Amino acid sequence: MQQLSSGIPEMMVINFKEPDTYGHASDSLGYVAAIQRTDQYVGSIVQLLQTHVAYAGKTTIIITNDHGRHTAGWSTGYVGHGDACEGCRHIEFLAISPDFKQGVTITTPYEQRDIPATIAFLFGKPWTYGQGRIMLDLFKD
């Protein structure tokens, strides 16, 4: 939080690895608790970004996963990930931005590689070498 309050970065990526660690340890209670703690951390960060004078009203926040987890009943279930099962192919994606529609659920199927393409677009940068597509229906008309 200190870096966010004083450094005012142009872009920041924060990786919360605790749920994945507990998942791989097959610790279901720890896994759920880690998800709850991560939700609290994310909530604190979002609150800071939406109230701090340097960020409020001009900051895009994207909350997502770097991977899903195996579908229940498949392979090792929530303990593992990394194949093409239904659970592994789905991630969460929550985006808050003054540039995006508000309170809308976008149902267009996107791929993970579409996220950096959209971020490059937000920064006004070309996405020359990436294969993703810009998630245009997130944006206000």
Instruction: Answer yes or no: are the C-beta atoms of 59 and 49 closer than 8 Å.
Output: yes
Q: In this complex, which beta carbon is closest to Zn ion, that of residue 39 or of residue 86?
A: 86
- Identify the three-state secondary structure at position 82: coil
Distance CA 51, CA 48 (A): 5
Calpha distance 41→116 (Å, rounded): 23
Kindly tell me which of 18 and 134 has the beta carbon lying closer to Zn ion: 18
**Minimum CB–partner distance for residue 128 and Zn ion (Å):** 30
Q: CB of 109: closest distance to Zn ion in angstroms?
A: 18
The residues of the shown chain that bind Zn ion, judged by CB under 5 A, are: 20, 70, 83, 85, 88
Q: Which is nearer to Zn ion, 42 or 79 (CB)?
A: 79
